[in-house]
Amino acid sequence: MSKVLLGHMYLAKNLKCGGVIGFSWKDKGRKKEDAKTIRKWLKRGLAVELLVRYEGDPEPKICTRNFKVPCACQEVDRG
Ligand SMILES: [Zn+2]
C-alpha cells in the first residue's frame, strides 16, 4: 500500500533541543510569504528544514517551552 502524500512543510527547529517551534505548509502560491517566514526563523537562530509529509507519519518532536512545559532547551539556557 502506498502512502498518501500530504505535502511539504517547512519546520523551524530549536537547535538546543531539536524540537519544532513553528511550521508552515509549503504552497506554490505563497513563495514570497514562505521566504519571509524562513528569513524570520533564521534571524531567530532557528534551523529550517523542509519535510515531506506522508499520511500516518509520526509527528515531529515539538519544543514544549511555548506551552509552558519544561523543555530540554531551557536546561541549556540555564547552563
Ligand atoms: Zn525546547
Q: How far, in Å, from the CA of 57 to the mean position of ligand 1?
A: 21
Q: Which three cell numbers stand for residue 67?
A: 506551552
Distance, in Å, from the CA atom of 31 to the CA atom of 28, rounded to the nearest integer, reads 6
Distance, in Å, from the CA atom of 7 to the CA atom of 3, rounded to the nearest integer, reads 12
Q: How far, in Å, from the CA of 59 to the mean position of ligand 1?
A: 15
For residue 28, the model assigns a pLDDT of 85
For residue 1, the model assigns a pLDDT of 67
End-to-end CA distance of the chain: 48
Block mean pLDDT (10 aa), the chain, length 79: 91 95 92 95 96 94 90 80
For residue 74, the model assigns a pLDDT of 87
